[in-house]
Amino acid sequence: MEELVRAMAAQLLRREAADDGVIREAAARLEGIVNRLRAFAEEVMGDQLPAFAFDPGHPAYRAAPSLPVENLQQLGATGGTGYGAALPARPAEAARGPRPASREVKAATWAAPGRRAMARGPLAGLTAGELVEAFHAGRLGVEEVTRAVLEQIEALEPHLNAFVTVMAERALATARRRDEELVRWRRNGGGGGTSAAAGLGPLFGVPVALKDLIDVAGVPTTAGSRVRAGHVADRTATVVRRLEEAGAVIVGKTATHEFAFGATTDTPFHGPVHNPWNLDHSAGGSSGGSGAVVGAGLLPVALGTDTGGSIRIPAAACGTVGLKPTYGRVSRHGTVPLSWSLDHTGPLAASVADAARVLEVLAGPDPLDPAAVPVPAQGLLEAAAAGAAGDLRGLRVGVLADWARDRVHPEVEQAFRDALRQLEALGAELVEIGGPGGDGPAFPAAGVLTLVNRVLALAEGGAYHAATLARQAGDYSHEVRIRFELGQFLLARDYLLAQRLRAELARQATAVMEHCHVLVAPTLPIPAPRLGQPVWEPAGADPEPVPEAMIRLTAPFNVTGQPALSVPVAVGASGLPIGVQIVGRVFDEATVLRVGAALEQVRGPLRR
């Protein structure tokens, strides 16, 4: 221990002249502390949630920022985040020479439309709201729909590789119970086709899939890793209980990037999840299985988790709606964590109204999760309906213009400009934020927020996996293992510095939101990459690792805790969907959904 402390003092703390006596005594005391703590290993603690929680709605984060934003921007200037592999340095001659045109580079990377895997038949692509009304009106039976869904899964799963577990028998048994409930409801005077019929629940009969981080008692939860092969959950997550209480039918568990620590859902344990729009491309991640099954029209709703964009990334890649609620809005109990202070759970859905419907069911306090806040989530469906009416007059939309210009694919840039014109045509006032001539305070740079996100995720994820790494390191995939191993070597002071920076960044974000109701930016700077694609080449810039690009515009809002909605707005020339991200004030999902529904209504159905 003494030699270790001496090496750390010299190399990590730059304390070459530390006194020998101090080193020896510090080492002896450290050994005592560590031995006592490690005796309480991960096996003892299990999935106990820590006693700290970030509450973005707390008045402390509404105080005036104390650091000039220019000081914070310095953090985002250079260096990596520890997430993507470092790229080899470019030769000096090549760096000075002319770079190829951006569109020529990308034409070789993003192919023309390729093989697709989309659900077919009269039930394919129906929204949750449409299904609920059809059940109420007697046009469809729950078992009938569930069987059709299971048949479509069987047909498309060999192409998508999106499911880990299909819970067919359990789903059919639940569906039969739902049909019996429907019969009793009608005998007791129900009917009339109303979508809000009392007693049946807002998700009555709706087939739903769960990301394979979310526990269902008696069903495996693999978290996408060989580390958990054979693991069977002994509890049911709070979000699953709430779905079932609302009448949903759980049909299976969808693939995740290993322990949710990746943006492509391509890992050795399960293999890659394929994008339904082009099977040669990624479905995004880490909730890639959920994105693929909703994007293919197999299901109207699937749950995902989001630590750095893992709901919004696959939503944008697969052409679905993806909602990351405000931090603390939805319970994390029964969900395998990646980073306790950044993790969110939310829906990937066929429509904005479906996302609103699901969030109303999931939201609320939970005695099993200390971070779950008692803030009502009501009126969300009404907000989505108001947006669909197409009137956004009185809303100020902050445009993160710098984010939309920095290393963005031409297809994404064009789709984003078109979406801005549509918002303006609907009556919204556009306000440029953070750019030259911007109105009000600048929003912190995406690179600053993403750096803080990665330090927190590396440290907290590394802590959660420390004991398993010591025992089963070889069972992790290489890239995910490297990330968790990196977390072993971060100092406590670095972690706490990141949390202190987070507090300041949250205050900066709150100050900006005083000037607008929502922010908008692209969800992804690139269309869905090819499977296995390591880098992309932006115009006039060095190559960027695909994992870093995929999280660059989404990870910031896990740090601030704001609600963020990805809505598909176009299908590019590559044949791949493109999404726009709408970000709101904390606990104001209603306005976010209103703006998203307005864009959705203008866009109309995506060309499938």
Active-site option among 310, 339, 341, 351: 310
d(CA 94, CA 72) in angstroms, rounded, equals 32
Tokens 């009608």 locate to: 186
Is beta strand 577-584 parallel, antiparallel or unpaired with respect to 518-522? Answer: antiparallel
Is residue 286 among the annotated active site residues? yes
Instruction: Judge whether 331 counts as a catalytic residue.
Output: no
**Which whole-number Å values give the CA distances from 378 to 399, 585, 593, in the listed order?**
27, 16, 12
DSSP state of 229: T
Q: How far apart are CA 371 and CA 331, in angstroms?
A: 8
- 536 to each of 262, 385, 411, 449, how far by Cα in Å? 17, 39, 14, 22
Catalytic pick among 211, 290, 339, 574: 211
Q: Which residues contact 507 (CB under 8 A, 6 or more apart)?
A: 61, 62, 63, 64, 65, 66
CA geometry: angle at 8 spanning 3 and 14, to 5°? 130
Name the active-site residue from 286, 287, 351, 574.
286
**What is the phi-psi region of residue 247: left when phi exceeds 0, alpha when psi lies from -120 to 50, beta otherwise?**
left
Q: Where are the alpha helices (DSSP H) in 2-141?
A: 2-11, 20-39, 42-45, 69-73, 92-96, 102-107, 128-137
The H-or-E segment that residue 518 falls in is strand 518-522
Report, in this order, helix, strand and coil percent for the chain, each rounded to 5.
Answer: 45, 15, 45
**Which is it for strands 271-272 and 577-584: parallel, antiparallel or unpaired?**
unpaired
Sign of the alpha-carbon torsion through 488, 489, 495, 496? positive
Catalytic residue flag (residue 324): no
Catalytic (active-site) positions: 211, 286, 310
